[in-house]
């Protein structure tokens, strides 16, 4: 799709006059024809519209949103892993991914629900494993040996190395799929 100028066209374009050629004396003089060019400016689609038009756009957005929000919320996982905190943070990830896919998807069918599910499973898994492993401590041993527990990079590697199939990730993914696909049923 070619880009078009963003400036507004001149409301009355100037007429283009053809170059006059001398006519032979024995031929009838031709009428002068004034040709006006019609210029149509079409604005380029926005980045969100380009993402909506792309077949893999909602899936890519779901994975990016799930990964970023999951990693950001992994900092809020408490040091002793608390189930209520993990559930609340998982609901936040599923809401972010679900509403993001709902906003970027054209339909409310499986084409929106599957990307929301996958993006949420990725985000919740990254958040839970990275936050839990990063918060692991050894009690008084680190203070005596002047060492610390695993850092964020080690926790992220642990999240990448473990499978993402757990009850919490599947439940959060289903919540995001419900958010992305909520709406009236179309008559088939």
Sign, CA dihedral 49-55-60-63, equals positive
Asked if the model's pLDDT at residue 187 lies above 80, the reply is no
pLDDT in tens, 112-144: 899 999 999 999 999 999 888 876 655 555 566
pLDDT in tens, 141-177: 556 666 666 777 888 888 888 888 888 899 999 999 9
Q: What is the mean pLDDT of the chain?
A: 80
What is the mean pLDDT of the segment spanning 13-19?
Answer: 62
In whole angstroms, what is the distance from residue 65 CA to residue 96 CA? 7
In whole angstroms, what is the distance from residue 164 CA to residue 123 CA? 10
75: DSSP letter: G
pLDDT at 15 (0 to 100): 62
pLDDT at 188 (0 to 100): 45
What is the mean pLDDT of the segment spanning 24-34?
Answer: 56
Q: Of 60, 122, 120, 127, whose CA–CA distance to 94 is shortest? A: 120
pLDDT at 2 (0 to 100): 57
Asked if the model's pLDDT at residue 92 lies above 90, the reply is yes
What is the mean pLDDT of the segment spanning 36-42?
Answer: 84
């Amino acid at each position: 799709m070619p880009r078009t100028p963003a400036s507004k066209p001149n409301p009355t374009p100037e007429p283009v006059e053809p170059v006059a050629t001398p006519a032979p004396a024995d031929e009838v003089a031709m009428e002068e024809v004034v040709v006006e060019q019609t210029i149509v400016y079409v604005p380029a689609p926005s980045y969100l519209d380009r993402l909506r038009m792309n077949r893999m756009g909602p899936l890519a957005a779901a994975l990016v949103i799930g990964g970023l929000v999951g990693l950001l919320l992994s900092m809020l996982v408490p040091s002793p892993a608390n189930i209520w905190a993990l559930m609340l943070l998982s609901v936040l990830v599923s809401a972010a991914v679900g509403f993001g896919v709902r906003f970027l998807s054209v339909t409310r069918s499986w084409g929106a629900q599957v990307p929301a599910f996958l993006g949420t499973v990725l985000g919740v898994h990254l958040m839970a494993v990275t936050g839990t492993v990063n918060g692991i401590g050894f009690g008084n041993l680190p203070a005596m040996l002047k060492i610390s527990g695993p850092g964020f990079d080690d926790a992220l590697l642990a999240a990448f190395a473990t499978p993402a199939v757990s009850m919490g990730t599947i439940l959060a993914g289903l919540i995001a799929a419900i958010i992305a696909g909520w709406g009236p049923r179309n008559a088939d």
